[in-house]
Structure 1
């Protein structure tokens, strides 16, 4: 469905950098959580965006995606390649804000403060299991509702109507890009004022259907390789071809910037 992308209100006073036509907030995990809570408390609409090398490649191929990403009120760096690139370009980001970790931190915050969440995406069995796991970990968590990710575009109005009825504070959307971003923009245009966060395959990880990389692998910045080994057919091109494309573009941007400085 065609929607008009509107620039979201920025509630943070943190700086932003631009890498390959993509704006990124200079925020660590704790700063992000505190900022997102401002949106929840003030009922200010937010598309909480996480970008990595793959998303930035898409931004530079898809004008609509570029418009959506750069209009978001909060844009996190969710990829170690992006952190390394920011240092190489001498505009360093503080740390990776991993989507699955941020989601679980926001769930913990929701239990503590009484905010309600909604889970949208994945297979029915997976989203049900995700809800049950989260409620076991957080007994006082308010789960306003769940909906699987197997629906068509003509079902979007029904999803919007349910969200308006349930009025969750935070909606976690676990479907693939770019449909995920287009859906969130549509739901916002329909007057749903929640915080929307795209979480990719986080439901599969939280429910235990796909194991997350061991902590030592995460600390070694090799979680991407662990994911490729889990789903090589789906992820090989994204990480191996896509990452080389990203690296080449970063090198080009570095030298282009130097050329402009010398003019």
Structure 2
């Protein structure tokens, strides 16, 4: 798989359909693939958080979640084919699980939210796709036990809806314990959207890279630092890499 390097981050140059094909082939062969998505704020954090950088770059499959990342790839002369948003990939994989009799474990968010996600997908598809679920609140010393419980659930797919860098580090550090699961992926706030707790931006805003603004408008107090400061830092880093002609290898 082709990958490009932007701001110390490796990103695979795949479309949504190509990504789904890689995942499906991996599950069919009984292997494991560790998937990560990156957006502007995560890439900014990776400049200084070396543990997060390792957790992301040493995963098997990395997609560009944010439109800003696709923009940056074009500015830097390493154009990505398209954005592969984590939530869209998750939704496609739930459909894939239903068609191919795969089982999913849902890990993260508040208890009421993860329960609503499981109920929604059980009603829409079938309870057969559910291997289990657990909320995202735990202490560091509980991690290995949680990983073992997930591994023993019979799941083919694991979605982890916890904020960065906790979810990336959890998957990286517990990959060996989770080796029975064919596909492991961090999905951030996706459970909040699927459950209806948070609204997603209209398609035109998603396509024009304004999803962040829609999210910011819903929760300005919580999101202002992440988006306004994070996005400004991201633009500055991209322009610096462009005009310095530096390669981040």
Task: Provide the TM-score with structure 2 as the length reference.
Answer: 0.94
Equivalent position to 1:199, from 177, 187, 206? 187
For 2:60 and 2:133, locate their aligned partners in 1 and report how far apart those are by CA, in whole Å. Answer: 25
For 1:36 and 1:108, locate their aligned partners in 2 and report how far apart those are by CA, in whole Å. Answer: 13
Give the equivalent residue in structure 2 for 1:183. 170
Give the equivalent residue in structure 1 for 2:239. 251
For 2:246 and 2:139, locate their aligned partners in 1 and report how far apart those are by CA, in whole Å. Answer: 47
For 1:191 and 1:170, locate their aligned partners in 2 and report how far apart those are by CA, in whole Å. Answer: 10
Equivalent position to 1:214, from 193, 202, 219? 202
Question: Secondary structure of the equivalent of 2:4?
Answer: strand
1:93 and 2:80 matched = yes
1:158 and 2:145 matched = yes
Give the equivalent residue in structure 2 for 1:63. 50
Q: Flag structure 1 segments of 5+ consecutive residues without an equivalent.
A: 1-13
* Residue 42 (structure 1) shift: 2.3
Give the equivalent residue in structure 1 for 2:135. 148
Runs of 4+ off more than 4 Å: none
Per-residue Cα deviation, 1:92-144 (whole angstroms, up to 9, x for no partner):
00111111111000000010001110000011110000001111221264100
Question: Secondary structure of the equivalent of 1:188?
Answer: coil
The answer on whether the counterparts of 2:67 and 2:208 sit within 8 Å (CA) in structure 1 is no
Cα RMSD of the aligned pairs, angstroms, is 1.5
The answer on whether the counterparts of 2:103 and 2:131 sit within 8 Å (CA) in structure 1 is yes
Aligned residues: 246
* Residue 167 (structure 1) shift: 2.4
For 1:212 and 1:98, locate their aligned partners in 2 and report how far apart those are by CA, in whole Å. Answer: 12
Q: Flag structure 2 segments of 5+ consecutive residues without an equivalent.
A: none
Change (3 A) 1:128 1:256: same
Give the equivalent residue in structure 1 for 2:66. 79
Give the equivalent residue in structure 2 for 1:5. none
* Residue 59 (structure 1) shift: 1.1
Equivalent position to 1:226, from 200, 214, 228? 214
Per-residue Cα deviation, 1:202-253 (whole angstroms, up to 9, x for no partner):
0010011111112232233211100001111121111111111111111111
* Residue 191 (structure 1) shift: 4.5
* Residue 255 (structure 1) shift: 1.4
For 2:240 and 2:110, locate their aligned partners in 1 and report how far apart those are by CA, in whole Å. Answer: 41
